Amino acid sequence: MTAHPKQTPSRVVVEAVEPEVGAGRFPIKRTVGEEVAVSADVYADGHEVLAAVVRHRPADGEWAEVAMTPGHNDRWTASFTVTEPGWHEYTVQAWIDRFAGWRRDLSKKFEAGQDVASELLEGAELVRQTADRLHGAEADRLRAFAETLSRCEPVDRVRAGLDSELAGVMASHADRSGGATYEPVLRVWVDRDLARFGAWYELFPRSCADEPGKHGMFQDVEKRLPYVAGMGFDVLYLPPIHPIGRAYRKGANNSLTAGPDDPGSPWAIGGPEGGHKVVDPRLGTLADFDRLVKTAQGFGVEIALDIAFQCSPDHPYVKEHPSWFRHRPDGTIKYAENPPKKYQDIYPLDFECDDWQSLWTELRSVFLFWADRGVRVFRVDNPHTKPFRFWEWLIAGVQEKYPDAIFLSEAFTRPKVMKHLAALGFTQSYTYFTWRNDKHDLTEYLTELTQTDVREYLRPNLFANTPDILNEYLQHGGPAAFRVRLILAATLAAAYGIYGPPFENCVGTPVKPGSEEYLDSEKYQLRHWDWSTPNPMRDLIARLNDIRRRHPALQSDRRLRFYHTDNDRLIFYGKSTPDLSNVILVAANLDPHHTQSGWVRVPVEELGMRPHSSYEVEDLLTGVFYLWHGETNFVSLDPGATAHVFRLWPRGRTERDSDHFV
């Protein structure tokens, strides 16, 4: 027969705690100052009164508690705020509150005119038992209550039993010995604000020279910092800056034969000068790079580096550690392939080789090398082609020394793989936004990212384009397509980015029909960009980044909501702060070729207004005000206007200072 438990089992059940990722295997993510809203199913047999708390603390700190509130169907809720970066922990604890149950029953029986003499004696004993566990003034105060419950006039005894002060003291010192605590203890990784909110700008340093045909250097990138900062970007992201191999170097437009002056692909990393801890001498020196990082910080911009764990045939690892690579039967090293594509200029690393521990340690040291030089933001190339456990181990090791390190996962891969990489530690993730261009796909995908449990661990960074991806929408949509994709990226997500010069110049020509590769791609050759001529796209970028910084509703993804329109070529959505003090509504024309109009539905009651009230919306892109009424209002957008980014102003406000009113 089954043996009895060694101790009295708890009658309390705590289950279905949220948020929880992977049954507690992975942490949720927050940034400093963000709230963690916790819910759990808490119940017990019978009709006992229960109490529950969320316990939380910074790792190795003192536990704090927040009382939970019961709701529908035994669902309890509470929230707490994380106040410092690094690891935090939380759990739910619940117990039978015998005094609260006694107090509830006493009140019912007394109001029904029943004799409660015995109940008062029971209450007195509960109070004495609690007093015996305490010392000092609180213990004395409880003993006084117990005496009143035992010996005074009946009305005074009942009044003492129902006293709110007594209830508070007893709740604070309830006997939790028969309670239950949820296991395992759950974790929160807390990042700095840039992990949640920021604008990224990508450029190739070698294309930053003032003169056409000249190889750019770090000092040329320094010259572009006022330009990048002036548009309001927080991160300047550089593709790999290391020496580029000569063997099998690719030529212009990814041709197999390179000319003597072709610079090669920055992702073919390594040459006689060194590998991942060396800079390409054509860009400058490590001292030049250090100066770039420091100068950028003075402009409020962080330098992000692309870390790609792959090697050219000329990388020092090939000679020094040949066992770190996979070999063919004839002994030669296998180059990278994605059949039928061949990448003869790249050797993949073998993360499962016999010497894998040394390999892993060396690769972690690459991140630490650049972090020691002041870099805290990393874009990681193709992480889905390396072992999950490797990334979990590496990220934890780097963040142990540098808790402010940010890792962006460039994993355009299967959904479950992308999500697993986010769960195991990547701070942000590229997404499928690049290929979501119609109303249905955008609504469905962004709702998944922001309104399901995915939001607890995957932070999207919506890049409107990349050096690898010039999607069909941008190829055929002209400037209007670039404008609307920019506005969508910047307002749908708190973190977004652009591959800068081609996007600003609305470059939409592919290398061939059906390809997403750029014609004359910077991946394989130098390009010269005009950084001085005024450009309407640059003005729009600067305006949007300024709007994002001034409006906290756009600095988080959790309150993104999509609203009804009667035209599928129009998309309408909103973001707000929890207190509704800042509400942003965006209406965008997804058709880059034609004017689209229709009725949009504003959830006025959800936004704190009366159903038929009048209110104003200010288009933050133009400064024009519109007077709207109730839920349904009309919008018309031509390809030139592209979108409205409205701030909602309830009537009666006092801040309006514009005479532009429609």
Q: Which of 119, 410, 504, 616 is catalytic?
A: 410
Digit-coded pLDDT (tens) for 230-262: 999 999 999 999 999 999 999 999 999 999 999
User: Does the pLDDT of residue 661 top 60, yes or no?
Assistant: no
Residues contacting residue 266 through CB under 8 Å, at least 6 positions apart: 204, 206, 239, 240, 241, 242, 244, 280, 306, 523
Per-residue model confidence (pLDDT) at position 3: 64
Q: Is the pLDDT of residue 654 over 60?
A: no
Q: What average pLDDT does this structure show over 556-573?
A: 98
Angle 354-360-364 from CA coordinates, rounded to 5°: 170
99-172 topology per CATH: Methane Monooxygenase Hydroxylase; Chain G, domain 1 (1.20.58)
Q: What is the pLDDT of residues 109-134, one digit of tens each?
A: 988 989 888 988 998 899 999 899 99
Evaluate if residue 5 carries a pLDDT over 70.
no
pLDDT band at 657 (very low <50, low <70, confident <90, very high): very low
pLDDT at 651 > cutoff 70: no
Is residue 334 pLDDT above 60, yes or no? yes
pLDDT, mean of residues 536-540:
94
Min mean pLDDT across 232-246, 328-342, 436-450, 480-494 is at 328-342
- For the ranges 276-285, 293-302, 341-350, 509-518, which has the lowest average pLDDT? 341-350
Q: pLDDT of 124-165, one tens digit each?
A: 899 999 899 998 898 999 999 888 888 888 888 889 889 999
Question: Does 653 have pLDDT greater than 80?
Answer: no
Tell me the per-residue pLDDT of 602-617, one tens digit each, with 9 for 90 and over.
Answer: 999 999 999 989 999 9
Contact criterion met (CB below 8 Å) for 67 and 16:
no
The pTM score is 0.94
pLDDT score recorded for residue 160:
84
Instruction: Judge whether residue 650 has pLDDT over 80.
Output: no
Nearest to 587 by CA among 489, 488, 486, 658: 488
Q: Is the CB of residue 325 less than 8 Å from the CB of residue 258?
A: no
| pLDDT of 2 strictly over 70 | no
Q: Which one from 89, 222, 306, 381 is the annotated catalytic residue?
A: 381
Distance, in Å, from the CA atom of 181 to the CA atom of 93, rounded to the nearest integer, reads 4
CA distances from 639 to 408, 438, 465, 483, 593 (A): 33, 15, 20, 9, 6
Instruction: Tell me what the pLDDT averaged over the chain comes to.
Output: 94
Which range, of 68-72, 165-169, 265-269, 370-374, averages the lowest pLDDT?
Answer: 165-169
Decide which of 2.60.40.1180, 3.40.50.2300, 3.10.20.880, 1.25.40.10 is the CATH code for 561-650: 2.60.40.1180
Token pair of 286 as six digits: 């490590």
Distance CA 415, CA 630 (A): 40
Question: Which CATH number does the domain 201-306+351-554 belong to among 3.40.50.740, 3.40.1160.10, 3.60.10.10, 3.20.20.80?
Answer: 3.20.20.80
The per-residue pLDDT for range 368-386, each reduced to its tens digit, is 999 999 999 999 999 999 9
**Fold match flag (12-97+178-190 vs 99-172):** no
Q: Look at residues 21, 22, 49 and name the one whose alpha carbon lies nearest to residue 105.
A: 49
Contact 81, 33 (CB under 8 A): yes
CB 443 within 8 Å of CB 565:
no
Strand partners for 571: 588
Give the pLDDT band of residue 350 (cuts 50, 70, 90).
very high
Q: Does the annotation count 125 as an active-site position? A: no
CA 30 to chain centre: 8
Of 458, 438, 439, the C-alpha closest to 448 is 458
b/e 157-175 (16+ beta carbons within 10 angstroms → b): bbebbebeebeebbeebbb
Any catalytic annotation for residue 381? yes
Reported as a pLDDT band with limits 50, 70 and 90, residue 660 is very low
Give the model confidence (pLDDT) of 504-516 as tens digits: 999 999 999 999 9
Class of domain 12-97+178-190 (CATH, top level): mainly beta
Amino acid 7: pLDDT: 67
Percent residues over pLDDT 90 in the chain: 86
Instruction: Name which of 570, 559, 569 is nearest 600 in CA terms.
Output: 570
Distance, CA of 421 to chain centre: 13
- Under the banding of pLDDT at 50, 70 and 90, the label for residue 4 is low
Give the strand pairing for 180-181 and 186-191. Answer: unpaired
Sole residue written with tokens 């029943």: 114
* Alpha-carbon span 251 to 232, nearest angstrom: 35
Give residue limits of the domains in the chain.
12-97+178-190, 99-172, 201-306+351-554, 561-650
Q: Please list the residues that pair with 31 across neighbouring strands.
A: 191
